[in-house]
Structure 1
Amino acid sequence: MTVAQTEVTLDEFEAFEAAAPEGFHVELINGRVLVTPAPDGDHSEASRVVARQVIRNHPGLWLYEERGLAVPAYRAGRARADGAVARDGYFKGQPSWSDPSGVLMVVEVTSGSEEDAKIDRIDKRDAYAQAGLPVYLLIDRHRGEVVVHWDPEGGNYQHTSTATFGAKLALPEPFGFDLDTSELA
């Protein structure tokens, strides 16, 4: 992953994103441009594990993969969430960088280097909390654990719970079920 050393404006980001080669994801988090390669197969399988359980427990919801979200925080931001759980049809008619107000949970799966994982653990967590996204679920393949953050207030999540791969993790409302992580082990 490459991180720009200087902060960029939203206009500069949009120009950079338009010029990025195919197969790379470009995001703007807290004024920094993040460029990452497209996810691998294990990354997609981790998202599938969550998607299947969300849909089974809440048939009116859907996990939209690789969804671009406008996460304003204190600067204009653009995050490409590995998964965004919203009501079926929520993103219809929305632009590629969508309004996150109807997103009930955002899902990230670590990949690449440990430095890449720190972006998911800290930068994206903080951006999602600042944007008021109710639940942030992190599948941390580097640490072999799943972490759920919820109840954003004042730009920070008020609660966190962690389970190692193979254990169950209680998801907060509006989900209210135990996420089975055995397929991640």
Structure 2
Amino acid sequence: MIERDTPRETLPPPTFEDLLRTVEEMNTPDGFKAELIRGKIVVSPWSELRYYRPMRVLREQLGAHAPEGHVADIAPFLFRFPAVARAYGPELFVADEAAFKEDGRHADAAALSLVAEFTSVSTRDADWAEKLEVYGRLVPVYLVVDVQDAEITCFSDPSPHGYRSRQTVSFGKPLDVPEPFGFALETTGFASGA
């Protein structure tokens, strides 16, 4: 008798919508968030307690200079980027308030005017590579608060090839945040959070 390979049925990879639905149905432990990074569901911890003060300082300054109708917040929402099958929950965001009047659990990333990520050992690579690439095509301003290096970098002027402008300062020095904000961000309060 000759053995023959039995063809195995292969399942198609899950769609972006399938992955979003799975994230919604997940019972993520308190203190953790689930995002779609590199086409996979990634669960990582929310920021450490010591990040609260610099996040609050940043949120207050951004809120005072946000475009009309936009809100600055640290609420745990996912913003979807369907063109690249990604959904991120930035530590801090500024977005058009109208985005939160939609049905569903994931806001449209087109509503974002700014995102800020606070680096940690577990998220650093995604913040500096994956998210930089995705945000750089759509989001007007991206701030990377690099807690490990005590620096903040502002990326702006998105294009199909990524951000065209970058400025980095050490904590304690002012950072120019371009339009649609147009102000000098005071970073003195960031160092105490590290």
TM surpasses 0.5: yes
Pick the aligned partner of 1:41 from 31, 43, 49. Answer: 49
Asked which structure has the greater CA Rg, the reply is 2
Q: CA deviation at 1:58?
A: 4.2
Pick the aligned partner of 2:82 from 72, 82, 85. Answer: 72
**Equivalence for 2:188:** 182
**Equivalence for 1:118:** 125
**Equivalence for 1:3:** none
Alpha-carbon distance between aligned partners in 2 of 1:155 and 1:20, rounded to the nearest angstrom: 36
Q: CA deviation at 1:33?
A: 2.4
Alpha-carbon contact 2:66-2:180 (below 8 Å) kept: no
Alpha-carbon distance between aligned partners in 2 of 1:137 and 1:37, rounded to the nearest angstrom: 19
Q: Structure 1: which 5+ runs fail to align?
A: 1-6
Pick the aligned partner of 2:178 from 159, 172, 183. Answer: 172
AA aligned opposite 1:77: R
AA aligned opposite 1:57: H
Pick the aligned partner of 1:25 from 30, 33, 38. Answer: 33
Q: CA deviation at 1:134?
A: 0.8
Q: 1:58 to 1:12 in 2, by over 3 A?
A: closer
Alpha-carbon contact 1:169-1:179 (below 8 Å) kept: yes
Q: Which contiguous aligned blocks of 4+ residues in structure 1 show a shift greater than 4 angstroms?
A: none
Seq. identity, %: 28
Alpha-carbon distance between aligned partners in 2 of 1:137 and 1:44, rounded to the nearest angstrom: 16
SS of residue matched to 1:91: helix
> TM-score of the superposition, structure 2-length normalised?
0.80
> TM-score of the superposition, structure 1-length normalised?
0.84
**Equivalence for 1:101:** 110
Q: CA deviation at 1:91?
A: 3.3
Q: Structure 2: which 5+ runs fail to align?
A: 1-12
Q: CA deviation at 1:8?
A: 5.5
Alpha-carbon distance between aligned partners in 1 of 2:63 and 2:170, rounded to the nearest angstrom: 22
Greater shift in the superposed pair: 116-125 or 40-49: 40-49
Pick the aligned partner of 1:63 from 68, 72, 75. Answer: 72
Alpha-carbon contact 1:67-1:84 (below 8 Å) kept: no
- RMSD across aligned C-alpha pairs, in angstroms? 2.1
1:153 aligns with 2:174: no
SS of residue matched to 2:163: strand
